Structure 1
């Protein structure tokens, strides 16, 4: 009989090996993961389009799938073009903003009568602002360059998805095991669909409201900051804070007074607070059942492995781990520790017949 210590040791070795593979194979795995996310969104949108009644009938599956593919492709192309144009312009204007920031440090030092004036290079390396903007522009360029590979993955996933259920069923020796696996997959799909549908809706609202506030005040690059707010809203806790900091810092160096900075920081802060603490929790409910500490640890772990993409995916990945662990007796303690209340749903075979 295998000892508990040996089982724990083997489990730790397996976790370390998987983590190492995720880091080493990042350049190969990430495009496929992004393709899976987009493919999942395409199917969800196609399902929503097909559910729209047209008289007494609905659109066929292949037409709704084609429309969903076109909608997401056109939307992604438009957003990428807008972000690229804004980042290019920001990269050109970055030296001006850096000089303005240095002037502000000089003014603060003179008002405080400091013997050793505060300089930008004391806080940040030389030319850090242009380099940060250039890095952002190169990131968008890299994403655009890998978009063709992602698109090929998506195309093959769409073409072969009709065979997935049949292949999945034949992985198991008995119909009972196949049924249990399909039930677990359905539960994972429900949880992830619930999370992404609500998160996407509130992220779109956050990005749109952020752009409107910045346009009303007159800050440039409103579309870029709206997209950043949309993307960062997927990152738990710290994403909303960063979404407020970026445009607020630009307002300091763009305007000659602090009134626009205060207005932008207050307006964006109220938007993030209202959506993140009032609206989203009511819509999300307790469906995810994840501990706040676990979410932060997951954010740090997946962020260290896959960067921003890992931060965006940390919650759904952790939800998948909880659901899978809850299905096996040996791994149920892990699901209990990761959950918010310690209460996890019983396995279908353990539920009493009704």
Structure 2
């Protein structure tokens, strides 16, 4: 019989090895994870289309699947076009904002009677612009390469998805174990579907309201900031804060007075507070059952491994870990520690 110390040591070693592989293989694993998300979105949207009644009939699977593909492609193209136009305009206007920022530094230096006035080059080195351009070009190249790899992964996932259940079932020699594995997969699917459906609806509402507030006040790039707010809303806690900071800082540079800054900061702050603390918790309920501290630690962990994508996926990944650990007696304490209430159900299998 293995000693508890040996089991703990092997478990820690396994976790460290998996973490190391996730970091080292990031360039290969991350595109596949993104492809899984896209594939999951296609199938989820196809399922939604199948639920829409047309008289006494419902659309067949191949029609709904095609509609979901076209819908995702059309929405992605539309959003990317808007973001590209806004980014191009922002790049053209950047020198104007830089001069305005220098004027603000001069005013601040005069107001506080500083002997050594604050200058922009003190905060940003002179070579920062070429480096930013180089980094931007590298980022575009990386995204283009990743997009091609993601497309290939999605294509093969779509072509082979009809065999997944059969392969998954044949992984287990015991039918009861196979049934238990399918039950775990179904529970994970329900939790992730619940999370992403509500999170997406709330994020869309946040992005639209952000754009409307900025349009009403007259700040440029309202669509861009709305899209940024939509994306950042998937990142727990810090995403909503960053979504308020970006347009508020632009308001300081764009306007001659601070009134628009306070109006934008207050308006967007109220939106984020209402959505994040009132609407979303009410819709989400206690389905996730994750501790707030665990969410923050998960955010830091997955962000360090996979960057922004890891921050977006930190909650679903942690939910999956809790569900799987809760099913086995040996790993159930881990699920209890990660949960919010400590109630994770009963283990059904023995490790």
- Superposed pair shares fold, TM > 0.5: yes
Alignment of 1:35-184 (within 5 A): 35-126=35-126, 128=128, 135=135, 139=139, 142-184=142-184
Q: Which moved more, 1:336-345 or 1:82-91?
A: 82-91
CA distance in 2, matches of 1:243, 1:136: 21
CA distance in 2, matches of 1:130, 1:48: 47
**1:133/1:317 CA distance change after superposition, 3 Å:** farther
Contact 1:192–1:316 (Cα < 8 Å) also in 2? yes
Q: For structure 2, list consecutive stretches of 5 or more residues without a partner in the other structure.
A: none
Could you tell me which residue of structure 2 aligns to residue 292 of structure 1?
Answer: 292
* CA offset digits 1:119-161 (Å, max 9, x no partner): 3344444465786587567645643443222122112211211
* CA offset digits 1:190-229 (Å, max 9, x no partner): 0000000000000011111111111121111111111110
Could you tell me which residue of structure 2 aligns to residue 265 of structure 1?
Answer: 265
Alignment of 1:10-25 (within 5 A): 10-25=10-25
Could you tell me which residue of structure 1 aligns to residue 327 of structure 2?
Answer: 327
Q: Which moved more, 1:272-281 or 1:156-165?
A: 156-165
Contact 2:327–2:349 (Cα < 8 Å) also in 1? no
CA distance in 2, matches of 1:24, 1:331: 26
CA distance in 2, matches of 1:133, 1:345: 52
Cα root mean square deviation, aligned:
1.9
Q: C-alpha displacement at 1:347, in angstroms? A: 3.7
Contact 2:329–2:348 (Cα < 8 Å) also in 1? no
**1:258/1:87 CA distance change after superposition, 3 Å:** same
CA distance in 2, matches of 1:256, 1:137: 33
CA distance in 1, matches of 2:120, 2:269: 26
* CA offset digits 1:147-201 (Å, max 9, x no partner): 2221221122112111111110000011100000000000000000000000000
* CA offset digits 1:247-303 (Å, max 9, x no partner): 111111111111111111111111111111110000000000000000000000000
Q: How many residues align?
A: 350
Alignment TM-score, normalising by the size of structure 1 = 0.94
CA distance in 1, matches of 2:75, 2:235: 21
CA distance in 1, matches of 2:339, 2:101: 45
Q: C-alpha displacement at 1:320, in angstroms? A: 0.2
CA distance in 2, matches of 1:136, 1:269: 30
CA distance in 1, matches of 2:129, 2:99: 10
SS in structure 2 of the partner of residue 76 of structure 1: helix
Alignment of 1:214-229 (within 5 A): 214-229=214-229
CA distance in 1, matches of 2:141, 2:86: 13
CA distance in 2, matches of 1:71, 1:152: 19
Could you tell me which residue of structure 1 aligns to residue 3 of structure 2?
Answer: 3
SS in structure 2 of the partner of residue 329 of structure 1: coil
Contact 1:95–1:130 (Cα < 8 Å) also in 2? no
CA distance in 2, matches of 1:138, 1:53: 47
Could you tell me which residue of structure 2 aligns to residue 274 of structure 1?
Answer: 274
Contact 2:329–2:347 (Cα < 8 Å) also in 1? no
Alignment of 1:243-254 (within 5 A): 243-254=243-254
**1:248/1:316 CA distance change after superposition, 3 Å:** same
Q: Which moved more, 1:13-22 or 1:188-197?
A: 13-22
Could you tell me which residue of structure 2 aligns to residue 231 of structure 1?
Answer: 231
SS in structure 2 of the partner of residue 114 of structure 1: coil
Could you tell me which residue of structure 2 aligns to residue 32 of structure 1?
Answer: 32
Q: C-alpha displacement at 1:71, in angstroms? A: 0.4
**1:128/1:243 CA distance change after superposition, 3 Å:** farther
